[in-house]
Structure 1
């Protein structure tokens, strides 16, 4: 069974929520290409250049941020989609947009928003991605949101699998434009999800080494990494260590990509699916790692959490970031006028809606904008030391 038979096709799209009759057609693009371009041209996408990937408000120009990470995910995802005969444009759109809902300071900022909004539905970055693209980003005169196709919104909602209990943000989108949350997403969405794993598993190693929070001896404790590094050393004996490490990252990406291509082909053949509808009804994820590499990848993630993401320096920066977000939320709750005329003028009257409005405002901030607003309200001397360099 060919994987290409299961590809999403723009001509078969379930369409957009709002009719766009009368709009000027700009170039010979299909619907998925148009979605990708709308994402790239959005303000929310541009803000990713100043949002945390691994290092909170990184003090260095060479570390990855959400924008560079998203571009790297798109490159990996598009390559896999091409090899499998899937729709490259839909895959790329999903990869580029998958992190748009992240607040400032990455997961630390998300944790702070969850606490601040706990009594009003909480906060979830994936739900906020949908909310941003479908409601908050409003460049068009006739409707709110970017009016993306059903397939793009569905893929963003379900790229990690079916959703039994959506949070309030996603539930609101689904109520207005049902996304069949109980089923699996397209293969393009499944490939976007694994491309994200491949990118951050390997590029976070690169950034961790650059920052001095990881070292080669630690990495060699991971059999998957050790085997790949030995192969690199054999191919390039005597090469400088820093170049060997960068070759290691490239090699591991290649190993993972090739594994996903082979495993996905095997899964599609074994499941007997012959269309994108069959993929959604398959009852399991078909696009991803083989069993053996999935085990290696889970172990690598455990290593990265223990040695990089939960490194004492990282935890100190995360604690500082949570304080900034929490204090900002409290300040805006006391005096919404601090958000500025535009946001305060649109303040809803009802308490829950007001809390969510404040959450929308903070979630859209970049790291440096959040720190500047904090300094503006509390004084520059109050900015936590771990963030004071920004």
Structure 2
């Protein structure tokens, strides 16, 4: 049955009744006024326009060279932030379609959720947080909002991508309600209030759990490919061992590498089906998106049993992969690159491009926050090239696969 023929759930976000945009269209002689449907570029809903603005942004393109698990990998088959975001969007669309909520909003949230990640993943984030300790700190999730609302500015009449309130709300609450927003999110919330204390739409909750499903399983795939994980390691988890035995019975003659990929696909399927069953139960009786936001709890997510397994899987991945000695060593080198770049630009702002120099304030914390914006937008390889250009040193110990 075509997607258009499927009735929408009553609690789905409505692209024709959303929370508006921060910047309205400027009338020629008078106050701002909304953009009418006839003036839009093509037959798209506002959530579809949001998705397209994200896909066409420079920030989204730069994700192709930002760390997912491995820093600046030489291999073509390792995931980056870009391929991860596309995989999250695929899982998110499946969940949204099955739950009869807005697929376009869900997809847009999935594609945008990592736009604020600096180079070198969490190692880069740690380095920027340390550099900014006296200037309000750094948080990649808040930087995502800062990116789409202020830094990525292709339009002549306003800053940012001017995305819908519903999308910005979902990005702000990617990890749930925010009781103590950091400076970046607080500034943006003051400009365009995002109701930070409530839960977000079902679409935003779906995007968050799709992120978990994608990286929980795809990081296993990359870890196996790199040789940092083995089948014996996976068998330490009882639920993976049970699933492996099931896969072996189905395909007794298949080579191990194909069985491992089948294991990962099965694990994704189990998680997706669990989320669908649990979320349908949790949303039974809800009649509006307002009721979802007022529920006071997460409605879309794993069942208690699956949530327990997922926590065990995360702990396993930290022990075996994310804190692998080679990964820890690469992260140390990555933090050094970011720290040295921050110090270099702070000591001599003329090392920055002219357009970024023009944005610098003479006052703190704005001065350091602009330097951080510049660094946070870099790709892994650009950051390494910049340090080499500035210092003459070629960063070592970063590429471990």
Scaled by the length of structure 1, the TM-score of the pair is 0.97
Matches within 5 A, 1:232-381: 232-269=247-284, 272-381=285-394
8 Å CA contact retained: 2:96, 2:103:
yes
Deviation digits for residues 234-279 of structure 1 (CA, Å, limit 9, x no counterpart): 111110000000111111100000000000001112xx42211000
* Partner SS for 1:86: coil
User: Which residue matches 1:120?
Assistant: 135
* Partner SS for 2:179: coil
Matches within 5 A, 1:19-168: 19-20=24-25, 24-168=39-183
CA distance in 2, matches of 1:78, 1:330: 42
CA distance in 2, matches of 1:172, 1:386: 35
CA distance in 2, matches of 1:184, 1:70: 22
Equivalent residue pairs, number? 385
Q: Residue 226 in 1 paired to residue 231 in 2?
A: no
Q: Residue 4 in 1 paired to residue 9 in 2?
A: yes
| Structure with greater proportional helix content | 1
Moved more, 56-65 or 292-301: 56-65
User: Which residue matches 2:31?
Assistant: none
User: Which residue matches 1:214?
Assistant: 229
Deviation digits for residues 50-96 of structure 1 (CA, Å, limit 9, x no counterpart): 00000011121110000000000000000000000010000000000
CA distance in 2, matches of 1:26, 1:301: 43
Deviation digits for residues 116-172 of structure 1 (CA, Å, limit 9, x no counterpart): 001100000000000000000010000000000000000000122110000111111
CA distance in 2, matches of 1:256, 1:385: 36
Query: How far did residue 197 of structure 1 move?
Result: 0.2
8 Å CA contact retained: 2:72, 2:398:
no
8 Å CA contact retained: 1:3, 1:268:
no
* Partner SS for 1:261: helix
Query: How far did residue 3 of structure 1 move?
Result: 8.3
Query: How far did residue 378 of structure 1 move?
Result: 1.1
8 Å CA contact retained: 2:329, 2:397:
no
CA distance in 1, matches of 2:263, 2:257: 10
Query: How far did residue 20 of structure 1 move?
Result: 2.3
Scaled by the length of structure 2, the TM-score of the pair is 0.94
8 Å CA contact retained: 1:3, 1:265:
no
CA distance in 1, matches of 2:153, 2:225: 39
CA distance in 2, matches of 1:237, 1:206: 21
CA distance in 2, matches of 1:43, 1:73: 19
User: Which residue matches 1:386?
Assistant: 398
CA distance in 1, matches of 2:330, 2:19: 44
CA distance in 2, matches of 1:226, 1:359: 44
**Structure 1 residues without counterparts, runs of 5 or longer:** none
8 Å CA contact retained: 2:119, 2:377:
yes
CA distance in 2, matches of 1:228, 1:96: 30
CA distance in 2, matches of 1:98, 1:386: 25
CA distance in 2, matches of 1:124, 1:181: 16
CA distance in 1, matches of 2:15, 2:210: 22
CA distance in 2, matches of 1:353, 1:4: 44
RMSD: 1.4
CA distance in 2, matches of 1:13, 1:82: 19
* Partner SS for 1:148: coil
* Partner SS for 1:4: coil
CA distance in 2, matches of 1:349, 1:330: 16
User: Which residue matches 2:207?
Assistant: 192
* Partner SS for 2:9: helix
Query: How far did residue 379 of structure 1 move?
Result: 1.1
8 Å CA contact retained: 2:127, 2:338:
yes
8 Å CA contact retained: 1:273, 1:282:
no
